[in-house]
Chain A
Amino acid sequence: MDHLSELENKSIYILRESYNQFDNLAALWSVGKDSTTLVWLCMKAFFGEIPFPVVYIDTGYHFQEMYDFRDMAVQKWGLELILARNDRALEDGMGPESKLACCTALKTQALKDCIAEHGFDALLLGIRRDEHGIRAKERVFSPRDQQFQWDYENQPPELWDQYSARADEETHVRVHPLLHWREVDIWRYIQRENLEVSELYFARDGKRYRSLGCASCCAPVPSEAATVGDILAELETTSTSERAGRAQDKEDAYTMQKLRALGYM
C-alpha cells in the first residue's frame, strides 16, 4: 500500500473507532486545509454521509473567502453545521486589539460554551504532530478537563492501536485522526483526491497564506505557488530554518543597535 493510503487507512480506522466509542461526537472544522482534509476523511469513512455535526468557531473576524468556502462546502457535502460564536463578547466590542484576550473570548470561550450547550463528549481535531514541538507528546485520544487543561503525564496508554477512549473525570476527549500526517502529506493527499481548499492558500500578487485564521492576525508569506503542485514544489525546497525574521523593520533596528552597543555584532 502506498504511503498516502496508509495514512488514510489509519485515520479512517480512528474515525470509525471514535464514532463507535462516543455517544455525542463532533468534528471541529476551521475550513483550513487540515480540518478540510479531516472532513473529507469523515466523508470517506462514513460513505458520503457524516453521521455527526461539524463545528465552526466563528470569531467574526475571518476572511470573507473562508465564509464563502464554508458555505460552498456545507452545501456540496451536506454537512450539519454548528456555529460556535461568542456573541456577547462581540457585542461588547471584543476585537483583535487585545490579542490574547480576544483569542480567549472568541475561540476558547466560544468552544467551551458550544460543548456545554450540545453536550459533546468527544471532538475530532485536525492537528498534526509536526506542527510544533509540544505536539510530540499528543495522543490520538487526548482527554481534556473542565478547564481545557491537558494532563500529559496522566494519559491512557495507546499500544498496538488499541485506543482507550475513556479517562477519569474528563468533560470531553479530543481525538486527533491526522496526528501522524505531515504538512507535505496533507498537500499530496489534497492533490491525489483532487480536494478543493480555500483560494487563500494560492498565490495572488506574489503572496499566499500558509495557514488561515482571523484576517487581522494572519500574514501572507511571499510565494508564487498558484497550484497544489506549486505548493508541493515549494514545500520540498523550503528549508525549515528560514523562519528567522529578516532584519528590516524598526524593532530589529533597535535590537541591532543594542547588540552593537554590547559588541555582539
Chain B
Amino acid sequence: MRIRNLLLLLIFISHCLQEVLADQINNSEYGIRIMQLLRSEKGTRRYPDALPSLLATMNEETTSRFDTDPLYLSDLTDERLMENPILYVNCDDQPNLEFSMEERDALRFYLEQGGFVYLDAGIKASFLGSDLGHSYAAWEERPEVRELFDQIYPDQPFLPLPRNHQIFRTVYKGLPNNKDLKIEADQKRLPETVLDFVEKEKWPQGTYSFVGLKVKGRLACVASPICAMGWGKDEFGAWIPPISFRIRESADDFDEKLKLASFSGGTYEVVREDGLKDVIYSESGHRPMWVQEPKGRWRIFKYYSGEEISNYAHAFYTRLGMNVFLYALLN
C-alpha cells in the first residue's frame, strides 16, 4: 500500500515537472531560460560572453525565443534546476567535477524527468593538460566526467554520436557557407590545405566529436570538446576571441622521416572516431608536434591563424552550438 502511494506520488511529481518544463518551453513572455552551472562567481571564467552571445544569435537566426541571460546555478540541488529544460556546463570553468550525493541525485532526477545537460569541454584530450584554449577532437569523455556519471549511471557509458546524428543538423547542416570565404570568384580566404583538411577531416559535413548518454532511450546528456570559445561576439558583432586552426599535414617522406626525427617530449594516446588510437608527440611548452596514426601514417601539426580563419571557426562553433541547444529543446 505504502509503495503504491509512493509510486502515485512520484508519478504526480513527474507529471507536474513535465508540465513546468513544457510551460518553460512555451513561455512566450520571457523566452526559454538556459541554466549554466557556475560554482563560484568569483573565479575566472574563460568565455563569459559565450552563452549569452549564442542565445542572442539563436534569437536572431531562428524563430525560437531564448532569454539571453542564463540562469546561473551554483549547486545542482537548487530547486530552479527542475524549472528549466537545459543545463549548460562548461567543464573547464568548474574548479572540479566533484558533486555531492544530493547533487548527483538531483542530476539523475533532472535527466530522468526530461532535462538535458550539455557538457562543454566534457571531452578533453589528455595531451592538452591544463591548456584550456584548445579544442581537440577526441572521441571519449574526459576522465572526471566518466567518474561522475559512473556514480549516477554505473552501467551506462557515454557513446560517440555518429556523424549522421540529428544533433548535427537540427537547424544548420554542413559547414559554414563558402560564400563567406570568397573574396573574389576564384579566390578563397582560407589556404587550400586548411580548407581541404577542415572539410574532409576536421569537421566533415559540419560535425564534430560528440559523445552522448541516453536516459530512458532519450539522448539526455552530451559532451564535446570546448565549443564556447567560438560563440562570443563583441559590440560590433565581430567574433571574439581569435581562434587558430591545428591542421595535420603530410609530405612525401614523413612516414619514414618523422619516425626518426629528433624528439624528446612525451607521447599521448587519443581515441579516434573509429576507436583506434592516434599517438600524439608533444614537447613540454610547445604545441603538439606530430601524430602517428594507427594505419602507419605520420603527419605533422601546423597552425594557421588569421581573421578569416578565426571567423570561419566561430561560424562553425556557433552553428554547432545552436544545433545542440535546439536539438535539446525539440527532443
Chain B associates with chain A: no
